[in-house]
Amino acid sequence: MRPGTRAADAILRLLSRDRAGLAVALLPAAAGAWCVTRGRGRRILGGVLWAVALALGLGSFRHLVHVGRTRVRYPPPGRMVDVGGYRMHVLAEGDAGPRPTVVWMPGGHAGGYAMHRLHALAREQMRSVLVDRPGSGWSDPGPFPRTTAVEAEELLTALERAGEKGPYVFVGHSFGGLLMANAARRRPDLVAGLVLLDPTPPDAVAFGPALPALRRAPRNQTALALRHLFGLHPLVSKKETPSDDPAQVLAMVELRTKANCAAASILRELSPDGITRDGWQTAVHDGDLDSLPLLLVAPRDLAGGGEIFDGVDDPEERARVRHFFLTVRERFLAASSRGRRVYTPEGTGHDFPDRVPGFVVQVVGSLLDQCGPGEPKPF
């Protein structure tokens, strides 16, 4: 690992602790005290540094008040399980019956609660599990750096220690699809099937055109961590009634520095340098999943993906870019000899799990119907 990467991880590790703001505030306070003791010429600078320290300290205190209130208002709805010195949150509901248990993983580095609408529909028909990656949702930050390979192992450990039993059907959206494919590759004996919801293909990062949004993502997440650390976010009112809306609950819970720092760390994988560094452990290659039943569920076109074409003015180049992104995700089908393509409803884009949750649950149920308590049946 390069020195710059180690330094970045050390900074993120520090910032992921909500009390780190108080420690940071001590630095200008100490510098201000030193300036004051050096004589009259530096007293003004010392006073400025003390003012900065006071502002940082008050902001940090405001953030800690938010963290405390959020813990009271929104306790973890599932179980906190130890995965080796830090805890992960696992919410499991519903009866599996003779069919495999379904485990959901959202895109980005969001907490499992981001897929609660799917979970709420699924738990009426099957055993449904949401897991928060370390740093997301209610889970502890975990060690740095964050990588897909490490999080695949953590997911499997969390399920075991939560008392869940395989076989599982893993369902992952976007970056979460890449994680689920990695987990399935590592423990095929625990997996009855895999449903990839428009998953992130490493080839798109390694060989595709530069995507400014991905390039900026780690920096933006680090900036958000600093904002949250020093209280630059809405504060929960004492009189405010706790929300039942899963999206709002997750938004409040993840106004924590750990969520931003974990995302900043793992999203470094989604860059040409990151794929070069971690690709062997991150990518799922042709045949890696043997004959595991696999459904690739994605839109027919690039609806909602306009940012892909930012800066591409040449019509021929735009056509090449469109073709690339429409075909590169199909590579996931080659990971298994039993891969099958499913198109989402017309007019839906990358965010289709939020827009048509009933369709997604129906697709997952169709795969469960092919699987018994033992070996999966043929399609």
pLDDT tens-digit map of 320-344? 888 888 899 999 999 999 999 999 9
* Nearest-5° Cα angle at 84, 79 to 88: 30
Model confidence at 372: pLDDT above 80: no
Model confidence at 312: pLDDT above 80: no
Model confidence at 10: pLDDT above 60: yes
Within a 13 Å sphere around the CA of 242, how many CA atoms are in the beta-carbon half? 12
Confidence bin at 231 (pLDDT 50/70/90): very high
**Residue 247 to residues 70, 197, 244, 315, 349, Cα–Cα distance (Å):** 15, 19, 9, 39, 19
What is the rounded CA–CA span in Å between residue 103 and residue 111?
13
Task: Read off the tokens for 8.
Answer: 């970045």
What is the rounded CA–CA span in Å between residue 159 and residue 91?
10
Strand order in the sheet with 294-298: 79-82, 87-93, 128-131, 101-105, 168-173, 191-197, 294-298, 339-343
Question: Where do the DSSP E strands lie in 63-105?
Answer: 79-82, 87-93, 101-105
Region 235-247: mean pLDDT is 73
Model confidence at 310: pLDDT above 70: no
What is the rounded CA–CA span in Å between residue 121 and residue 204?
32
Q: Could you give the percent of the chain with pLDDT greater than 90?
A: 72
Quote the mean pLDDT of the chain: 91
Instruction: Give start and end residues of each alpha helix (H) in 230-351.
Output: 246-253, 257-266, 272-282, 315-328
**Residue 266 to residues 22, 104, 282, 307, Cα–Cα distance (Å):** 26, 19, 11, 21
Region 23-28: mean pLDDT is 94
Q: What is the pTM of this model?
A: 0.92
Segment 121-145, tens digit of pLDDT? 999 999 999 999 999 999 999 999 9
Who's near 273: CB < 8 A, 6+ residues apart? none
Contact indicator for 129, 88 with CB cutoff of 8 Å: no
What is the rounded CA–CA span in Å between residue 89 and residue 139?
5
Coil, strand, or helix at residue 307?
Answer: helix
Coil, strand, or helix at residue 89?
Answer: strand
Q: State the sign of the Cα–Cα–Cα–Cα dihedral 267, 273, 278, 279.
A: positive
Model confidence at 2: pLDDT above 90: no
> What is the DSSP secondary structure assignment for residue 360, as one 8-state letter?
H
Please report, in angstroms and rounded to a whole number, the separation of the first and last CA atoms in the chain: 44
Segment 169-207, tens digit of pLDDT? 999 999 999 999 999 999 999 999 999 999 999 998 888
Confidence bin at 164 (pLDDT 50/70/90): very high
Contact indicator for 222, 264 with CB cutoff of 8 Å: yes
> What is the DSSP secondary structure assignment for residue 303, as one 8-state letter?
T
Segment 71-105, tens digit of pLDDT? 999 999 999 999 999 999 999 999 988 899 999 99
pLDDT at 97: 86
Least confident of 10-24, 74-88, 253-267, 363-377: 363-377
**Residue 1 to residues 80, 137, 143, 292, 372, Cα–Cα distance (Å):** 31, 28, 15, 34, 44
Which of these, 346, 343, 351, lies nearest to 304 by C-alpha position? 351
Confidence bin at 346 (pLDDT 50/70/90): very high
